[in-house]
Amino acid sequence: MFQLEKPERLLWGAVLVLLLAAVAGPFVAEPAHAHDLADQRAWGRIPFTLNVLSNLPFALWGAAGLGCLVWRRRATGPVGLTARHGLAALFFTGLLATAATSAWYHWQPDDLGLAVDRLGMAVAFAGLLGLAAAERVSARAGLALGAAMLVLGPCAVGVWLSSGNALPWGLLQFGGMGLIVWLACLPPLADEIPMASGDSPIRWATVVAIYALAKLFEFGDQLVFDWTGHLVSGHSLKHVVASCTAWPVVAALIPTRKTKAESLQITA
């Protein structure tokens, strides 16, 4: 008979609480000047140039992560891949999507563009949350949570776009990061990170710290723009820093020792 382990029950309980809060919570409006970013300079034919081009690191990290997974696939074969690697692929794909959707939004900031931007972010969130759950709770919890976020993310965006209520999106973003903080306090599962694969646990504290720094830059958009003598805005720096949440994930997937397949080849 199918049974949930205690960490799985706690995880789904927390998700249920967040879902109920999103449904029954108060109406929260998007800030009135959400699209009024500090740096509105255009260089050549690119409007809001730095806010557009600063999304390039998302694409670079996404491509680097997918490239790392392809290399692992060739080195270990399909047997060496786990649910963790599949969720990592979802996360890196989400980064590529975010690079495109965020650049789209910042080219001409408006509500529809922001909705498209958030759809790209939702894919990255789904992969990242699924990764944390797969590594600290169970592979099935990670896959289920990733799938749930792929559904709930667009739903939250749809609610905001149709009603103006930003609460569901805020809970998905900040509540999701709260889940990662909790999951980071749990020990990694040995069977999800086999020693023979050369993988290492993701440094989730580093992921959270990088994301928190990115949000600080976002909230201090105008302040940073003024402090740097209008060289760069907090929002542009937020893109660059937020993309670096991929760094601990990529680092954990780079083999630190010979894989089983490599060892067998050497022996033969």
Domain CATH code at residue 170: 1.20.1070.10
Per-residue pLDDT tens digits for 142-154: 999 999 999 999 9
* Residue 1, domain member (yes or no): no
129-133's contacts with Cβ under 8 Å and 24+ in sequence apart are 129/176, 129/179, 129/180, 130/87, 130/90, 130/91, 131/84, 131/87, 131/88, 131/91, 131/202, 131/249, 132/179, 132/180, 132/183, 132/184, 132/202, 132/204, 133/11, 133/179, 133/183
Alpha carbon distances (Å) from 147 to 27, 87, 90, 107, 203: 26, 10, 10, 30, 23
* Residue 17, domain member (yes or no): no
What pLDDT, on the 0 to 100 scale, is given for residue 192? 55
pLDDT band at 77 (very low <50, low <70, confident <90, very high): low
* Dist CA 254 CA 268 (whole Å): 24
What pLDDT, on the 0 to 100 scale, is given for residue 200? 84
* Residue 9, domain member (yes or no): no
* Dist CA 54 CA 241 (whole Å): 10
Residue 78 above 70 pLDDT?
Answer: no
Highest mean pLDDT among 41-45, 67-71, 99-103, 185-189: 99-103
DSSP 137: T
Answer yes or no: are the C-beta atoms of 62 and 92 closer than 8 Å: yes
* Residue 42, domain member (yes or no): no
Number of structural domains found in the chain: 1
* Residue 175, domain member (yes or no): yes
* Residue 97, domain member (yes or no): yes
Answer yes or no: are the C-beta atoms of 90 and 146 closer than 8 Å: yes
* Residue 87, domain member (yes or no): yes
Confidence (pTM): 0.91
Domain that residue 129 falls in: 47-258
* Residue 138, domain member (yes or no): yes
